[in-house]
Chains A and B, each alone.
Chain A
Amino acid sequence: MTPFFLDTQHGKRFCLYHPPKGLARPKGAVLYVHPFGEEMNMARRVAAQQARAFSVNGYAVLQIDLHGCGDSDGELRSATWEIWLEDLDAAARWVAENGDENLSVWGLRLGATLAVDFARRTTTALRDCLLWQPVLQGSTYLTQFLRLHAAGAMLHSRQGGQKTVPALRLALEQGETVEVGGYELSSVLAADIEHVNLQGLKEIRCPIHWIDLVDNPHPEMSPARKAAALACAGTGADLRLCAVHAPALWAVYGTTECTTLVEETLRTKRNSAA
């Protein structure tokens, strides 16, 4: 595993590269798109477990910290959806220049939503998309993120001082940057997130593997999410849906590994080969 900094137009990006292992010809490359905010940290261990599993099984993996996230340059308050897409473009170019072919994109939560947008726009012919619990609607996601403020206030007994979600939204609309749980969300990024959805699925030409994480020994995608996924994909997209028995590892602390998810994802990737 090699850490390095990738130069981009908006600064350096911290990256981790896992080379394809084994004696056979490399099977392909995977670009990981991490989730937003604290979810990135919570999911870190399982993402690393998955990256290692891909690597050991003959896939190159590139993990990139997006602008303002992790160890990359830039403040989160200056990040935008467009800059993040450019980061992914730069990452894809680096992978190609490194000689790794057959690129797939793999994202978690808002990272999956961003991955879909990237897949829709990129000129690189992608092998497939792997989406872990993609965020369907940015507006709902933003509400939940802003709620962290109210939740945090309750836990720290600051009942009077908390800002309600509508108040935070108003501040954002007025061009202010709001701080939630240590993360500074600018009005620009908030507006970007507010408008994202998965309608872009329709425009993707490669197979899309959508994996929902359900904490049930007999996991099934919720009917609401299934219907929404199918609606977003329309008739054009090659969308395959499945649910894996796994905890909400982006929201629950202490999830250091998730073998069911990692094995199922690896299996899906292998079977996806044309």
Chain B
Amino acid sequence: MQSIELIKRLLGEALGLGVRAEALTADTPLLGHLPELDSMTVVSIISLLEERLGIVISDEEITADAFRTVGSLAKLADTKMLA
């Protein structure tokens, strides 16, 4: 998935991961596994996704499922782009 690279970069920025962003894969768990993931950074990630991809994400889509892994977040982005 092309968007995995974009998601990795975006997560790197929003969470201040630095070089750790490179090590992320589609299966890397997010929610509950990354201490940097809090309300502020979740909102940053959503805002960056919207800005970079020109999509709109609604409240209902900010779910534990979407944030389970890097892959699930990429899937959300993909779905919105195809809409």
Contacts and interface: CB of A to CB of B under 8 A. Distances in A.
A22 interface: no
Contacts of B43: 144, 147-148, 151, 251
Contact of A147 (B14, B31, B59, B64): B59
Interface of B: 12-16, 31, 36-44, 46-47, 51, 59-60, 62-64, 67
Contacts, number: 68
26 contacts: A38-B40, A42-B40, A144-B47, A148-B40, A151-B43, A151-B46, A152-B39, A154-B31, A154-B42, A154-B62, A154-B64, A155-B31, A155-B39, A155-B42, A159-B64, A164-B60, A166-B59, A247-B16, A248-B14, A251-B40, A251-B43, A252-B14, A252-B16, A252-B41, A252-B44, A253-B41
Given A151-B39, A151-B43, A154-B42, A247 B13 contact: yes
Nearest to B42: A151
A139 interface: no
Given A155-B38, A252-B15, A253-B38, 9 more contacts: A42-B40, A151-B62, A155-B31, A155-B39, A162-B59, A164-B59, A224-B51, A251-B44, A252-B16
